Amino acid sequence: MINNGFLNNPYPTYEALRQAGPLHWNEEFCGGAWLVTEYADVASVLRDPRFSVRRAGGWANTSGPEALAELREFKRIFSRSLLFVDPPQHTRLRQVMNVGFKPAALQALAPRIQTLVDGLLEGVMTTTAASFDFMRDFARPLPALVIAAMLGIDGDDRAEFVAWSDDIADFIGSPTPTMEIARRAQISLIAMNDYFRAILPQRRSHPGEDLISQLTLAEASGGIITTKELLAQCCTLLFAGHETTRNLLGNGVLALLQHPEQWQMLQQNTALLPSALKELLRFDSPVQYTGRRLKVDVELHGQRMKKGDLVIPLIGSANRDPAKFTTPDALDITRNQGTHLSFGFGPHVCIGATLTYMEAEIALRSVMQRLPGLQLAGDTPSWGHNAVYRSLNALPLSYAAALTTSRLEDAVHV
Ligand code: HEM
């Protein structure tokens, strides 16, 4: 199922799967998994406590017991991550983490995000001849800089963060990871963990406003979060905070430029930005699927799924389910048909969703204002090899560099 055709455009495969039925056993995923294709079932699996998120060991296990032993550090670190723990551990950790995602904390970050966006766009405008790679120059660095600002770490180290995260994403995003991919992911996760471990003493002695400091305060207050759990959450945030948002920016701008009437409508009425972002998330989800492992036998659509089976809720398919969204393959930035599942659903729903909307709105508004006449500069877009994190390798764009600042207002409102 996962071949170049799927990576370039997974939606025909999802449609064929949905037409063939709501639930499929597929041997290609980690040695065998149930694929859940419809919106209602994906939402219901994601909120059902019988479907556990504890699967960090499952990846390590795919290549047999020796691999599992070799990858024990990966399992050890990530098995404490919010993403991979069930209640009551999850409920406790989520409460601790919520501190950094409260509206006041996010609002305080908005001016920093605007400065980072402006800096990147100025880089684009001064160093290129009216054409640039949107992924390299904007969508890839911005989320890494924002998450670094949130954690209070040095944005200049972002090349390392991105490289470590990409290694981890390669492992998590591969249905059949090789040992080489797995080893690389483990080395990078250990490096990330060590990076944060080295920072902690300073944050404990001189706590600031950043999220790591907030977490060390919780750690100091005793029993709420352990040091190992704290390190796992830092790694999770660094990883989850930018492997995803970069794809919303890249996939979103590509979709808009491929639908010029929608792009023009948005430029004429930027009040549509929140609704446009919702639709872009639905239309081409940055995270195409997630995973669960069954705690007990469950019957669904007449099929018996057994305790221990891996279940793959196909978010990308749910978002194009015609039972939920009329004309699901059309991009309609004014669509108002309920929520997409791109941030997940239920207890593990993305903790960074509000931050993402804020960051993407600042980013897109600024791109529209500062890069008038934006259009695609390449032929067919080149998609990455990751089946979970749907990401463009590059997105060559051009813009009307000759327009002076005084003409920008006109350009935005044509
Ligand atoms: C376009 C941007 C994003 C998308 C599409 C996205 C998607 C998701 C999805 C689908 C889940 C649920 C996974 C599951 O149930 O298995 C999730 C959880 C999570 N996300 Fe995001 N995410 C985005 C941005 C962010 C950002 C910016 C951050 C952090 C700053 C973040 C941090 C997290 C964390 C920590 C979780 C785990 C929550 C929990 O298990 O309770 N995400 N995200």
Domains and CATH numbers, the chain: 4-412 (1.10.630.10)
* 356 in contact with ligand 1, CB cutoff 6 A: yes
Closest alpha carbon to 232 in 266, 283, 196: 196
pLDDT of residue 64: 62
pLDDT of residue 169: 84
* 411 in contact with ligand 1, CB cutoff 6 A: no
- Closest ligand 1 atom to 236 CA: 35
The CA distance from 95 to 225, in Å, is 10
The CA distance from 22 to 41, in Å, is 8
DSSP string, 59-96: HHHTT-HHHHHHTHHHHHHHTTSGGG--TTHHHHHHHH
C-alpha 73: how far from chain center: 23
Over 50: is that where the pLDDT of 405 sits?
no
The CA distance from 377 to 156, in Å, is 29
pLDDT band at 153 (very low <50, low <70, confident <90, very high): confident
Report the pLDDT averaged over residues 177-181. 86
pLDDT of residue 173: 80
pLDDT band at 406 (very low <50, low <70, confident <90, very high): very low
* 52 in contact with ligand 1, CB cutoff 6 A: no
pLDDT band at 172 (very low <50, low <70, confident <90, very high): confident
pLDDT in tens, 122-138: 999 886 567 899 999 99
Among protein residues, the one with the nearest Cα to ligand 1's atom 21 is 350
3-class DSSP assignment, residue 106: helix
Contacts of 41 (CB under 8 A, 6+ apart): 22, 23, 300, 301, 313, 318
pLDDT in tens, 16-47: 999 999 999 999 887 899 999 999 999 999 99
Joined tokens for residue 179 = 């040992």
pLDDT of residue 400: 86
* 214 in contact with ligand 1, CB cutoff 6 A: no
Distance in Å, CA 65 to ligand 1 centroid: 30
pLDDT of residue 62: 57
- Closest ligand 1 atom to 237 CA: 29
Preceding peptide of 347 cis, ω within 30°: no
Report the pLDDT averaged over residues 163-173. 86
pLDDT of residue 178: 85
pLDDT band at 345 (very low <50, low <70, confident <90, very high): very high
Strands lying side by side in the sheet with 396-398: 131-133, 396-398, 375-376
Strands lying side by side in the sheet with 51-52: 23-26, 33-36, 310-313, 292-294, 51-52
Calculate the CA dihedral of residues 42, 44, 47, 48 and round it to 10 degrees.
-120
Joined tokens for residue 24 = 């499929």
Report the pLDDT averaged over residues 145-161. 85
* 240 in contact with ligand 1, CB cutoff 6 A: yes
Closest alpha carbon to 84 in 289, 353, 291: 291
User: pLDDT averaged over the chain?
Assistant: 90
Cβ neighbourhood burial of 24 (10 Å; 0-12, 13-18, 19+): middle
- Closest ligand 1 atom to 150 CA: 30
pLDDT in tens, 101-128: 999 889 999 999 999 999 999 999 886 5
Closest alpha carbon to 181 in 191, 172, 190: 172
pLDDT of residue 410: 46
pLDDT of residue 39: 98
Contact criterion met (CB below 8 Å) for 200 and 216: yes
The more confident residue out of 178 and 269 is 269
DSSP string, 179-204: HHHHHHHHHHHHHHHHHHHHHHHHHH
Over 90: is that where the pLDDT of 155 sits?
no
Distance in Å, CA 112 to ligand 1 centroid: 21
Among protein residues, the one with the nearest Cα to ligand 1's atom 41 is 348
pLDDT of residue 229: 94
pLDDT in tens, 223-233: 689 999 999 99
Contacts of 72 (CB under 8 A, 6+ apart): 60
The CA distance from 271 to 2, in Å, is 38
Cβ neighbourhood burial of 3 (10 Å; 0-12, 13-18, 19+): exposed
For a pocket test of ligand 1, which of 249, 350, 351 has the largest count of ligand atoms closer than 8 A to its C-beta? 350
